[in-house]
Amino acid sequence: MQPELVLASGSPRRRELLRTLGVPFSVYPSSVTEEVPGDPFPGELVEILAAKKALAVAHTQDHALVIGSDTVVALNGEILGKPKDADDAVGILQRLQGQAHQVYTGIALVEVDGGKVSRRLIGHRVTEVMVRSMNREEIEWYVATGEPMDKAGAYGLQGIGSMWVDWIDGCYTNVVGMSLPLLYDMLNELDYSVLHSFSSPENKA
């Protein structure tokens, strides 16, 4: 019997991405802080945070496969997270517009058997995104929609923000919040078969 999939995230975008796989899962948002000591590279940072989220929820489970994920945007090596407020969102978009940047998303899988962690797997993907030049009016209008406020880099590729994305190089779902090709490979590595668990993309969680 395959373990229950548990998504350690309250993100509606990650929930929707996981739902498209058509596998049953439950949602148990992690409440860990996102502070990490030192100055890790973006790929290291998202893996550390994804693992923290997954492990925090794993300790509450008996028989499950817990999925943790984290996303950051990097511009010229500098990590840009979620905006603190509207002014911060405007500032982030002013920096990103007219430039290519990288989106890093980490995924951590933690398998729990009998209430104990039995296996874990961590990885990340990088996607390059080009945001076209935006004028002040466009930036302020977009921020006023509220869409940027809960997103790394202050824009949503799957939403209104797509109007200003000229191109991406790499995995689309990685930018949205979780690389489904990477997740699929990692689940297979831990002997969880999406094909055998599939019922319908309409599974609710």
pLDDT of residue 35: 75
pLDDT(136) > 90: yes
Rg of the chain in Å (alpha carbons):
17
Amino acid present at 170? G
Tens digits of residue pLDDT in 148-184: 998 989 999 989 999 999 999 999 999 999 999 999 9
Q: What mean pLDDT comes out for the span 112-128?
A: 96
From 39, 62, 70, 87, the catalytic residue: 70
Closest by alpha carbon to 101, among 129, 72, 78? Answer: 129
Cβ–Cβ < 8 Å for 95, 129:
no
pLDDT(28) > 90: yes
Query: What's the token pair of residue 178?
Result: 């979780």
Fold of 4-197: Maf protein (3.90.950)
In our burial notation (b when 16+ CB lie closer than 10 A, e otherwise), range 157-175 reads: bbeebeebeeebeebebbb
Q: Please state the φ and ψ torsions of residue 16, each to the nearest 5 degrees.
A: -70, -40
By the 10 Å C-beta count (0-12 exposed, 13-18 middle, 19+ buried), 203 is classed as: middle
What percentage of the chain exceeds 90 in pLDDT?
Answer: 82
CA separation for the pair 62, 117 (Å, rounded): 9
| 70 catalytic per annotation | yes
pLDDT(26) > 70: yes
Cβ–Cβ < 8 Å for 117, 55:
yes
Cβ–Cβ < 8 Å for 66, 53:
no
Domain layout of the chain by residue ranges: 4-197
Tens digits of residue pLDDT in 73-91: 999 989 988 899 999 999 9
